[in-house]
Amino acid sequence: MKLRILLFVILSALVAGVVYRIHYANNGDDKKRGDKALSVKTVPVAVRDFPRVIDLPGTLEAAQQVAIVSQASGTLQRQHVQEGDVVKAGQVLFSLDARPAQARIAQTQATLAGARAEVAEAQKKLERLTPLMQPGYISRQEFDDAQLALEAARARAGTASADLETARLDAQYAQILAPIAGRVGRIAVRPGSLVQAGGETLTTLLATDEIDVRASVAQQDWPQLALARKRGKVMADVFFDADHTLRAQGELVFVDAQIDATTGTVPIKVRLIGTPPALLSGQGVQLRLQLGSEPNAKVVPEAALQHAQQGAYVYVVRGGKAVVQAVEQIRSLDGDQVVEGALHAGEPVLVEIPQRLKAGGKVELEGDKNADQAAGVGKAP
């Protein structure tokens, strides 16, 4: 029994010794860690002019787009262009069968000739009766009837002349011409089809030399856009939705006079400078309106911003320690953030926060650590 008690006492002493050593070792390590500065990655606060922009989704469209509709009825006889062709203004696109119009021209020419003969005959008769009216050789009724016959003949001649002009226009409209230079869209009819005047669209011409970006500005952003317009031209950059590579630049050319009640936005248009080949009508793009710049803005990377219930803050290295500095977010662009707060140009702010970092903890800039290591190379221990 005494032996068991002795063994228990010895085992307890051993366990107590191990626990003491572990506890002492951990406390020593924690103390060492607390005294050791954490290596941190920082970026200096920049004070510079910061662009003020509005980013919007937009859709490309041709600045000029014309639906080609026949002005005369007839059978489509010939198609002179193909889909996708680039045509000049005045170029023939389609030809209708002009023979009915030409037949009407011949018919109305004959009718007009007869009407003009009637006018000439009625004019001669009135001239013969005029000298006989004064002495009373003819009655007043007979003279008035001669005048009325002349007027009727002139009216028939005018009608025939109008019919002849209409027939000539129909013959002219048999040649359907391009009103503008552009690219031919989808062709909806083929030779042999019956075309009605003012009927379906034969094709669409899209101007290739001018492209617009159609977009809408939210009503809360409208005041700053209106202010930028008062200062002068508002320029814009155009990007593809998939990336931020600049594709084209343009100028704001149209702003609607009222807010769209359905969407709560203001429709706008930006006309591109030049015609980049990579851009086509109907394509979705990203539009960035340039509204000017904010001078002397405090700029930090968005990665430096931290968030808490009290608001945003950053870690600033001051006196070798990571100090919490409250800031107010103003605007962001392409990974940079404009903030307001007690920051100074060139102050290092942390962009990667170590898990063991505590407010007020000692830190060492990565660049300073590397410089110290480089300075120590080759020195005797």
Asked if residue 82 and residue 198 are part of one domain, the reply reads: yes
Residue 71 sits in a domain whose CATH number is 2.40.50.100
Q: What is the pLDDT of residue 378?
A: 36
Q: Which two tokens stand for residue 373?
A: 């290591």
Asked if residue 301 and residue 334 are part of one domain, the reply reads: yes
Asked if residue 152 and residue 105 are part of one domain, the reply reads: yes
Asked if residue 325 and residue 348 are part of one domain, the reply reads: yes
Asked if residue 222 and residue 164 are part of one domain, the reply reads: no
Residue 14 belongs to a domain = no
Residue 3 belongs to a domain = no
Asked if residue 126 and residue 232 are part of one domain, the reply reads: no
Residue 22 belongs to a domain = no
Q: What is the pLDDT of residue 256?
A: 92
Residue 336 belongs to a domain = yes
Q: What is the pLDDT of residue 367?
A: 58
Q: Which of 120, 151, 172 is the last residue of a domain?
A: 172
Point out the residues of the chain with pLDDT beneath 70: 1-35, 242-243, 367-381
Q: What is the pLDDT of residue 167?
A: 87
Q: What is the pLDDT of residue 70?
A: 92
Domains identified in the chain, total number: 4
Asked if residue 246 and residue 129 are part of one domain, the reply reads: no
d(CA 86, CA 185): 10
Asked if residue 88 and residue 178 are part of one domain, the reply reads: yes
Residue 141 belongs to a domain = yes
Q: What is the pLDDT of residue 242?
A: 61
Residue 114 sits in a domain whose CATH number is 1.10.287.470
d(CA 214, CA 267): 7
Q: Closest Cα to residue 256, out of 196, 311, 215, 228?
A: 215
Q: What is the pLDDT of residue 234?
A: 94
Asked if residue 73 and residue 182 are part of one domain, the reply reads: yes
Residue 261 belongs to a domain = yes
Q: What is the pLDDT of residue 29?
A: 47
Q: Please return the burial class of 203, using the count of CB atoms within 10 Å of its CB with bins 0-12, 13-18 and 19+.
A: buried
Asked if residue 215 and residue 288 are part of one domain, the reply reads: yes
Instruction: For residue 188, give its domain range.
Output: 65-97+174-209
Q: What is the pLDDT of residue 254?
A: 93
Residue 368 sits in a domain whose CATH number is 2.40.420.20
Cβ atoms 286, 240 nearer than 8 A: yes
Q: Which two tokens stand for residue 301?
A: 């990377």
Q: What is the pLDDT of residue 35?
A: 57
Instruction: Report pTM.
Output: 0.63
Residue 6 belongs to a domain = no
Q: Which of 244, 260, 293 is the last residue of a domain?
A: 293
Q: What is the pLDDT of residue 44?
A: 92
Asked if residue 159 and residue 144 are part of one domain, the reply reads: yes
pLDDT digits (tens, 9 = 90+) for 174-221: 999 999 988 899 999 999 999 998 899 999 998 877 889 999 999 999
- How far apart, in Å, do the first and last CA atoms of the chain sit? 60
Q: Which two tokens stand for residue 203?
A: 């094709």
Asked if residue 82 and residue 151 are part of one domain, the reply reads: no
Residue 23 belongs to a domain = no
Q: Which of 150, 172, 194 is the last residue of a domain?
A: 172
